[in-house]
Each structure stands twice: as C-alpha cells, then as structure tokens.
C-alpha cells in the first residue's frame, strides 16, 4: 500500500505520515527544508524498518517542483492508494491591503495550486486502477472570513467538491478535512495553553479513518474543532 503526503515534516503532515507508516504503508513525502526531511526520513526508517520511504525536497509554491514530485512518485510506484494534500502556509493579513499581494499569491500557490497539480499528476493512475483516495486538508477558514488566508481555503474546499463530482464514478474517493485550531507551527508565539488546541495526531487519526472506510463509503467533508470552540 502506498501513500503520498505533502508538507510532511511538521504538524498534521508529520502525524499523518506516521499514522500511515504505522499501518505498514510505504510513504512518499516532501518538504521544503532538506534537513527536516532527512531527519524525518531517518526516524521513519528506524521506527518502521519494513516500509519504503521516498523523499523529495519540494517548494510547494512552485508549479514545476510540484509536478516533478508527482511524476517521480508515479514513475516509482505503479499504484498509489492515497494522496493527502496537506502542504499549506498561513500568512496573516487583510485581503484588501495591497502590501499583502505577495503573501496572497504565495498562499494561493501553496494552499490551492499545489493540490491541483499534485492531484492531476496522481489521478490518472488512480482512475486507471479504478481505486484511490484523495484527502485535502482544508480548514475551518474554508467557510469563515479569516482574511486573505481564507480565500485560499475557500478555494480548496471548492476544489474538493468539484473533484468529488468529477471522479466519484471512477472509483476515486475525495474528502475535505476542515480542522480548527491545531497545535502546529502556525500558532508559534501564541500565549495559550496547549490544552486549548487539538493535537495533530487527532487530525491524522481522522484522516486514517476516512481512508480506512469501505470503498463504497466516502466522507465528503468533516469538521474538527477544539472542544472549547474556535480560537
């Protein structure tokens, strides 16, 4: 069994990679920082010696880099069972502030277009085998007006819904996962207790559960929030 997870060295991506590795999946992972990727690869190889770990340094905001990673995985593995489009970036700022133009473009490239190019790179193999699962990590910002970031996440949810309709009769399941505040690097510097956040491992468990359902069942959308609500 083969799983691809983007943005895999931290937070939800890291926890999701570990969740699939624990189940004996070979994993193909990417990240922007080579040192982080090498360290995580070594840890995975030590903890799960019976799986294959394929890594590639990828800046997910770059179209050619994303397409190159997808092509490399498909060339290596004839069958891919699950793609988790997790890579994302949060940069605070108002949509109407012209000074945030570069940040807005970076978030759209990383949060939306990377998922589009990864999906289009992997989907033909899934359609051919009439089996596969694509899980897009969206956000509660997918339906809340949280500044410029929310635009990219609204679009990610729309992408998930449109994709689901296009491939549902081709044996490919598509799910959108919308977590609330999760204890990841995006919240570094925030003066709140850890207990106020969800754990990345909880989101990863939900992702695994979505995949692990029978093939005649799909979780189209799922919302997860801290017990005490949004932050």
Whole-prediction pTM: 0.94
**What's the CA gap between 70 and 52, in Å, rounded?**
17
User: Could you tell me if residue 118 is inside a domain?
Assistant: yes
User: Could you tell me if residue 231 is inside a domain?
Assistant: no
pLDDT, mean of residues 199-215 = 96
43, 46, 50, 52 alpha-carbon torsion, rounded to 10°? 40
Q: 24-48: per-residue pLDDT in tens?
A: 999 999 999 999 999 999 999 999 9
Q: 62-100: per-residue pLDDT in tens?
A: 999 999 999 999 999 989 999 999 999 998 888 888 788
Domain span including residue 217:
2-224
Q: Which of 95, 179, 86 is closest to 139 using CA atoms? A: 179
User: Could you tell me if residue 230 is inside a domain?
Assistant: no
Number of H helices, E strands in the chain: 7, 7
Residue 62's domain is classified under what CATH number? Answer: 3.40.50.720
User: Could you tell me if residue 124 is inside a domain?
Assistant: yes
- Alpha carbon of 163 to those of 37, 87, 119, 135, 220: distances in Å? 30, 18, 9, 11, 11
Question: How many C-alpha atoms does 79 have within 13 Å on its Cβ side?
Answer: 9
Q: For residue 92, what pLDDT is reported?
A: 85
User: Could you tell me if residue 203 is inside a domain?
Assistant: yes
| Contact indicator for 112, 123 with CB cutoff of 8 Å | no
Q: What is the count of structural domains for the chain?
A: 1
Q: 179-188: per-residue pLDDT in tens?
A: 998 877 666 6
Q: For residue 50, what pLDDT is reported?
A: 96
User: Could you tell me if residue 61 is inside a domain?
Assistant: yes
Read out DSSP for 110-143? IIIIHHHHHHHHHHHHHHHHT-EEEEEE--GGGS
In sequence order, the 6+-apart residues with CB closer than 8 A to the CB of 213 are 219
User: Could you tell me if residue 143 is inside a domain?
Assistant: yes
HEC per residue, 48-60? CCCCCEEEEECCC
| 143's tokens | 């339906």
For all residues of the chain together, what is the average pLDDT? 94
User: Could you tell me if residue 110 is inside a domain?
Assistant: yes
Distance of CA 159 to the CA centre of its chain: 13
């Amino acid at each position: 069994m083969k799983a691809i997870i983007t943005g895999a060295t931290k937070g939800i991506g890291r926890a999701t990679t570990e969740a699939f590795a624990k189940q004996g999946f070979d994993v193909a992972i990417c990240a922007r920082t080579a040192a982080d990727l090498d360290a995580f690869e070594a840890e995975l190889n030590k903890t799960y010696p019976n799986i294959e770990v394929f890594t590639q340094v990828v800046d997910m905001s770059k179209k050619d880099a994303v397409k190159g990673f997808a092509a490399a995985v498909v060339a290596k593995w004839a069958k891919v069972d699950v793609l988790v489009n997790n890579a994302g970036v949060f940069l605070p700022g108002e949509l109407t502030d012209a000074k945030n133009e570069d940040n807005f473009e970076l978030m759209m490239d990383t949060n939306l277009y990377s998922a589009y190019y990864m999906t289009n790179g992997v989907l033909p193999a899934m359609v051919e085998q009439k089996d596969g699962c694509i899980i897009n990590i969206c956000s509660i910002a997918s339906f809340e007006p949280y500044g410029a970031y929310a635009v990219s996440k609204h679009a990610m949810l729309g992408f998930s819904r449109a994709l689901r309709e296009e491939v549902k009769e081709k044996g490919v399941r598509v799910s959108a996962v919308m977590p609330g505040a999760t204890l990841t690097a995006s919240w570094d510097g925030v003066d709140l207790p850890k207990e106020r956040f969800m754990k990345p491992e909880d989101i990863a468990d939900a992702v695994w559960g979505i995949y692990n359902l029978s093939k005649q069942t799909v979780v189209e959308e799922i919302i997860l929030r801290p017990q005490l609500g949004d932050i």
